Amino acid sequence: MAQLELQHVSIHGHEVSYRMGGDGPAILLIHGMAGSSLTWKEVMPLLARSYTVLAPDLLGHGESAKPLGDYSLGSFASGLRDFLAVVGVERMTVVGQSLGGGVAMQLAYQYPELCERLVLVNSGGLGREVSWMLRVLTLPGAEFIMPVLFPAFVRDRGNDLSQFLLRKGLRAPRIAEMWRAYVSLAEPENRRAFIRTLRAVVDPGGQVVSAKDRLYLTVGMPTLIVWGDADHIIPVAHAYAAHEATPGSRLEIFEGVGHFPHAEEPLRFAAVLTDFIETTKPALLGRQEFRELVRTRG
């Protein structure tokens, strides 16, 4: 299945790379930490049959620029607002996986007028628990041992093995996604951006940013929560808790699937997302309505 070609645009003097295709209502796909738009390569062509699909590389990730600066969820959200303005998309269904889920919730919180629906896929920002490896990498000095943990020669040998397996027709999407993240961290500028991003949302005790106290703000915004119950990075318990706290949300648990449902079961993921979009009405929440919601529930 063909991938949508990588495109580039300059925003505030920094290059942002993205994939875009299809026609119809817009869907914004936001990848996770140390990921890129490539994580959506299997589902984008499926969704592009009926929708305009956008998948940017967040700053500090993929082929986008990796400047010094702010890598907080708020900064990512404002960057996506500007990206959407540049590419001419006014409203969309926003889909975020892992870190991208936290960014998606922040986008809906800061700019509700842009978001018609919210889809959270094994999302960060819904509880304290997260894998021990990510917590370790927030410790002081972790950036100095990362070149040892992620050496370039291991990347090169692993890439050779990956190509061999692909030629043999063997598919292991969960491993492939984790390997792609590992490969990205072999580059010094990627490691610097990764550490800045990680420390903005995680500390040695776990996740430090939580949207749980603001999930009531999604009332009136159709919300879908998708999770793999074999996720060893963010536990599936977060999905059940978020579903209970989110008025009118839908919950889809992918049995035996890990942290990347969209890559591990792309056909099912595309079908679930399409059904969700086709059976819900887009939210029309403006800033005035949002202010009233905060005042009445705050």
**Spatial distance between the Cα atoms of 134 and 140, rounded to a whole number of angstroms:** 13
Indicate the pLDDT class of residue 171, thresholds 50, 70 and 90: low
Question: Where do the domains of the chain lie, and which CATH numbers do they carry?
Answer: 6-129+210-297 (3.40.50.1820)
What is the Cα–Cα distance from 262 to 174, expressed in whole angstroms?
Answer: 10
Residues 6+ apart with CB under 8 A from 276: 117, 119, 222, 224, 250
239-294 pLDDT, tens digit each: 999 999 998 999 999 999 999 999 999 999 999 999 999 999 999 876 777 777 77
- pLDDT value at residue 214: 85
Lowest mean pLDDT among 142-151, 196-205, 209-218: 142-151
Strand 14-22 versus strand 6-11 pairing type: antiparallel
CA–CA gap between residue 123 and residue 32 (Å, rounded): 9
Cβ–Cβ under 8 Å, residues 214 and 241: no
Active site residues: 98, 231, 259
Which pLDDT does position 243 carry in this prediction?
96
Q: What share of the chain in percent tops pLDDT 70? A: 87
Reduce the DSSP state of residue 80 to 3 states and report it. Answer: helix
